[in-house]
Each structure stands twice: as structure tokens, then as C-alpha cells.
Amino acid sequence: MAHVLTLVAPSREALRAAGAALRDALASAPEIRSLEAGRAEDWLLADDFLPGLADLKLVLDPLPVDYAFQPVANRQKLLLLADMDSTIISCECLDELADYAGKKAQIAAITERAMRGELAFEEALRSRVRLLAGLSEATLAACYDERVRLNPGARILVITMAHFGARCVLVSGGFSYFTRRVQVQAGFDAEVSNTLLLADGRLTGAVGQPIIGKEAKAARLTAECAQLGIAPCQAMAIGDGANDAAMISMAGLGIAYRAKPVLSALATARIQHTDLTAALYFQGYKRAEHVDGD
């Protein structure tokens, strides 16, 4: 089966350096197709062209380039599942709420351990939310207005995939107050997330059931694929933390975005040096096909 290696670089010089390193490693010269001049290109490879995937990683990992190696078949995905915090948006909403409560250092330390996979997500979520008891609903609005920003390329990624017929779902271990707004802002078809419980306009310190964690995200991918009548190989999932691991492993294209090592090791591809439009190049979309969505 033919495979394609996609390179996405932050500069023309970085793309040129990656290409030179690959030419030295490959036994034969492949067909190269430009996706954006000086930024992204496809290398079409027969299996026997490769020195081995492990060797390919040794060549590319030290370089400032993002890449994906995958079969040509089913390359353009019909389903996108995306994490929200530190993936589609630039912050962790719970940590930002903690800042308003004067407890950011305490809560951020728990978040970091949970994202590295050192703590069970569900209990880590409950323990952090308990520390926010009494915070006003008005603070949620202030946090969204003042702190929540889409990561570069997020809206272009979602709008472009939707334009070409994909269903796009925001699947978050964060909170519905934020996911509902980010869903609209980024252009997702739907959102799945946790609920902060309120009483008299203030957080009670509890989370609604069921909690959306690693298993729930994977279950949502399975359910969405069944509803669309597609196989998981036709889905793409993207996230940054340990609670994204199951859906990343299941998806045909699983992308680790600025991710913790525990997730990067499982992913088909990583975005570390460029922005979220790299996920479009990985699917073979040329720059001229990107939909800005303004």
C-alpha cells in the first residue's frame, strides 16, 4: 500500500533542511507534491522506499518540523474529535478560574499531574472543582471574555473540514459554560463536556454526572463513527493530555498537539512547531483549499 509522508514547517529553511535529511535517508527519490510553497509538502512513498518508521523518526524528530506518515487511503477524514483546553484554545479554563479565586498555583499543579497521566482524571477534576466552591457565575463570564482565545489555525481547521463534509465535535474534559461558546466561535457541529453545578449564582464545588474523561471521549468517537456509518480509520482526533489517549489511539489520524510525552508516544502525528492548520496538510488539503471562515 502506498504511504504519504507530510512535512509541515514553520519556515522555508526548516522545510528545506528536513527535505535534505530525508533524501539522505531514503533509498530512492520519491514524488514530492507541494501543499504550500515553503511550508508544507507531501512525499509519496512506496513501503520499500523507507528505511523503517523508527529510522524515519530518528531523522525528523530532532528537526523543527511537524510530520505525519500514513496510508494514502482514507486520508481525508470524515469526523473530527477535538479536545478544547490547551488544544483548540490556548488556556486551561479551570486553571484560569482558579486564578480568579486566588488558587491558580494549587490547582494548576493538579492539572499538570493529571495531564501527564499521574492522577486519575475524574478524581483530579473533582478535587480541583471543590476548591472553586463559592466562585460566582459572573466570574465564568469574565474568564471567558478575558482569557479564552482560539489557538492559531483552530477555526480554519474546523471550518475547512466542515466545508468538505466532515462532522466536527468538541469533546472536552472541561466545562459546558466554555465549550458551548467555543463551539460557536470555532465552528464545531456539537460539543460534549462536563457541567459545573451552580446554586444561587455560585459554584457549589461539584461536577455533574457523568464525568467526561478518557473513556467517555473514546466512547464518543465510537458512537459518532457508528452514527456516520464510517470506520475509526476515517476519523481524526486531536488533543494534548493523558485523558485524550484512548481517542487518539483509536482514530485513523491521532494528533498530539503541544502534548505531554504520554500522549505523544501514542499519536500518529504531532504538531509541535506549527499551528493547527498542519492537521489539514496532514490530510492532503492544499493551502488554496483552506477556508478562513471569517
* Known active-site residue 83: yes
Average pLDDT, the chain: 93
- 3-state SS assignment for residue 261: helix
- The predicted pLDDT at position 261 comes to 85
pTM of the entire structure?
0.94
pLDDT reported for residue 49: 61
Closest CA to 284 of 21, 49, 77, 79: 77
Domain extent for 69: 1-73
What is the pLDDT, as a whole number, of residue 112?
A: 86
Q: Is 85 a catalytic residue?
A: yes
Q: Note whether 156 and 209 are same-domain residues.
A: yes
Question: Of 42, 85, 95, 244, which residue is the catalytic one?
Answer: 85
Q: Which residue in 72, 31, 74 sits closest to 49, CA to CA?
A: 31
The H or E element containing residue 106 is helix 104-115
Say which DSSP state 85 is in.
Answer: I
Q: Indicate the residue among 21, 52, 73 that finishes a domain.
A: 73
Choose, from 83, 95, 240, 244, the residue flagged as catalytic. Answer: 83
- Among the ranges given (53-57, 129-133, 164-168, 188-192), the one the predictor scored with the smallest mean pLDDT: 53-57
Q: Could you tell me if 199 and 252 lie in one domain?
A: yes
CATH code of the domain in which 1 resides = 3.30.70.260
Shared domain for 44 and 116, answered yes or no, is no
The CATH number assigned to the domain holding 142 equals 3.40.50.1000
Same domain for 176 and 62, yes or no, is no
The count of domains in the chain is 2
In a shared domain, residues 99 and 238 = yes
Share of the chain above pLDDT 70, in %: 97
Q: Do 86 and 29 lie in a common domain?
A: no
Domain shared by 46 and 83, yes or no: no
Tens-digit pLDDT profile for residues 233-242: 999 999 999 8
pLDDT digits (tens, 9 = 90+) for 26-68: 877 789 999 999 999 999 987 666 556 677 888 999 999 999 9
Domain boundary among 52, 73, 94: 73
